Amino acid sequence: MKVQLEQVFVSVLTSLGVTTPKVSFEHPEVIAHGDYATSVALAYAKQLGVKPRELAEKIVDALQAGPLKGATLSTFIEKIDIAGPGFINIHLSKQFFAEALATIETQGDAFGVNGRLKGQKVMVEYTDPNPFKVFHIGHLMSNAVGESIACLVAASGAKVVRANYQGDVGLHVAKAVWGMQSLNANATLSQLQKLPSAEQVAFIGKAYVHGAEQYEADKSAEAEIQIINQAVFDRRTPEVNVLYDWGRKVTLDHFELIYKKLGTNFDHYFFESEVAKDGLEEVRAGRGKGVFVESEGAVVFKGEEHGLHTRVFINSRGLPTYEAKELGLAKQKFAKVKPDLSIVVTANEQNEYYKVFMRALFLLHPEIAERTKHVSHGMMRFASGKMSSRKGNVVAGEVLLAEAEAMVAEKIKDRGFDAPTATAVKEKVAVGAIKYSVLKSAAGSDIVYDPEKAVSFEGDSGPYLQYSYARALSVLRKPEAEVLMKQFLDIPASVEISQLEKILYRFPEVVDRAAGSFEPHFVTDYLTQLAGAFNAFYTNNQIINHADTATSSYRLRLTRAFATVMKNGLALIAIPAVERM
């Protein structure tokens, strides 16, 4: 409909003398003001030498005398009016909403998909936790944003490759291994391996914190950790290799449990240990091209020459830094997977670093840089401020999930669920609570996580969306619902179009906008508005009334359409749809 309206308005404006007009429509914030609105009269009045309202009147007259007269489009428009200085508002007809409902029913799970990226392969890299360290709230945020972007890209017709890049070498690993040695892990490794995985992970985390603290406090410890860092990189020390291999496997296996709970299945894993060699080669080749220079024994990129800042790519010990390894990663992505587009999701605290990296990548491989896009998210904050894993006071992602689960369990304890169902519900609702908290804000915006609001079944929350979906299904499960829905022929004359109909049909537009901008919050905002409209509809109407089967049939089918769109929308922000709450 939006595209049709834009085409018709362009035709009319051209006939009125406007040169190469551009037309856009928006949905009025107040639904009573219409279903579509445009300000083209204000934009082109000066060009034609008339007042905006006068031009708006000419446009409406031309529409009614020409394109809308006897045309199919006219059956979908109830009226056109002019507001204020010349805004043109379009009010859609019952016939339009009847056909929109039929489209939702026909397309089902496919309602909302588009072909924006059809035929393309898109890699989305996100989450990126480091073995030997805690899976913290930043990883939860990256996972929520990245998974939703992957879902939006898939809904746009692309083949999606979900990737995870994990730092299994580097100074943090050396600190953890040194910490294990310091805590006498060599003598107790066999006993540690018999402990539950969570306790093994806890020990590794404790060892990392100990190593990180001593690295800053003790010069001898710093020197020993630097030696271990080199040993980890070239695997030259058997006793280091034993601890390294054990710690790497334990933490990576633990991450997989978290991914499963979050509903993420990665297609490709990259590791720093595997891209480091390529990274070194890229930097060495770049030196020959003048991209990198030597400085105090290290190899650096002089970012100031490009309005950026200098960063080290090979340190004075000859080891590749994170920056160099990222070059190796980019090379391997395009060599192994060959994506048309590579999207990388990180926290916004890496924005300046990424500008430097992208400039260096462009100078080395412009064809790769042009097909690489960086998307950043904000930070999750609490009253105590941003947390740091280096200091050991990081908020673990699984702790946040567990706390949300406990709060949800308390809310549903009297709802008659058996134990397996209660467990499934609390886990899905907790995931929904945290993901919604992340995705309700525009990319790059920091969020303040409020546990009580996050798990609320009312208002601005993930559980509210899930509960609205479950409420709709509870109506549709009634024995008479299926029979009544089959009796539907058209929208009864007595039925007034509600906000629910006026929001449902917009879903494909929202998906297209969110996918085009890689901004999941557009879907989150829409679903919140949609849930509010459905709950108002549910409260103000008797959906099943045996004395009025025609109206009951329509309202049931409208409820089913809501459930379809809500389920499709939740899938796009990777929040589980819960059938009973």
In order along its 581 residues, the chain shows pLDDT tens digits of 888 899 999 999 999 999 999 999 999 988 889 999 999 999 999 999 999 999 999 999 999 888 777 666 788 999 999 999 999 999 999 999 999 999 999 999 999 999 999 999 999 999 999 999 999 999 999 999 999 999 999 999 999 999 999 999 999 999 999 999 998 766 678 888 888 998 999 999 999 999 999 999 999 999 999 999 999 999 999 999 999 999 999 999 999 999 999 999 999 999 999 999 999 999 999 999 999 999 999 999 999 999 999 999 999 999 999 999 999 999 999 999 999 999 999 999 999 999 999 999 999 999 999 999 999 999 988 755 554 444 445 678 999 999 999 999 999 999 999 999 999 999 999 999 999 999 999 988 999 899 999 999 998 999 999 999 999 999 999 999 988 888 766 788 889 999 999 999 999 999 999 999 999 999 999 999 999 999 999 999 999 998 999 999 999 999 999 999 999 999 999 999 999 99
Instruction: In whole angstroms, give the CA distance from residue 368 to residue 338.
Output: 10
Q: Where are the beta strands (DSSP E) in 329-457?
A: 341-347, 372-377, 380-381, 447-448
Q: What tokens appear for 39 in the block?
A: 């300000």
Q: Which amino acid is at 409?
A: A
Instruction: In whole angstroms, give the CA distance from residue 329 to residue 366.
Output: 15
- With both helix axes pointing from N to C terminus, report the angle between 185-192 and 238-262 in degrees, rounded to the nearest 10: 40
pLDDT of residue 390: 45
Instruction: In whole angstroms, give the CA distance from residue 438 to residue 526.
Output: 15
CA 480 to chain centre: 39
Which H or E run includes 122? strand 121-125
Q: Which CATH class is domain 2-92?
A: alpha beta
Number of neighbours of residue 248 by Cβ within 10 angstroms = 21
Q: DSSP string spanning 35-94? A: SEEE-HHHHHHHHHTS-HHHHHHHHHHHHHHTTTSS-GGGGGEEEEEEETTTEEEEEE-H
Q: Is the four-CA dihedral 333, 339, 341, 345 of positive or negative sign?
A: negative
Instruction: In whole angstroms, give the CA distance from residue 386 to residue 372.
Output: 29
Q: Which amino acid is at 483?
A: V
pLDDT of residue 388: 46
For residue 375, which of 439, 432, 322, 323 has the smallest C-alpha distance? 439
Half-sphere exposure in the Cβ direction for 436 (13 Å, CA): 32
Instruction: In whole angstroms, give the CA distance from residue 374 to residue 343.
Output: 6
For residue 134, which of 217, 212, 193, 232 has the smallest C-alpha distance? 212
Instruction: In whole angstroms, give the CA distance from residue 307 to residue 391.
Output: 33
Q: Is the pTM of this model over 0.85?
A: yes
Q: Does domain 398-572 have CATH number 1.10.1380.10?
A: no
- CA dihedral 38→565→516→26, nearest 10 degrees, is 10
Q: Is the four-CA dihedral 539, 540, 542, 543 of positive or negative sign?
A: negative
pLDDT of residue 489: 66
Report yes or no: 316 and 299 within 8 Å, Cβ to Cβ: no
Angle, vertex CA 197, rays to CA 195 and CA 202, nearest 5: 90
CATH 1.10.730.10 in the chain: give the residue spans.
398-572
CATH 3.30.1360.70 in the chain: give the residue spans.
2-92
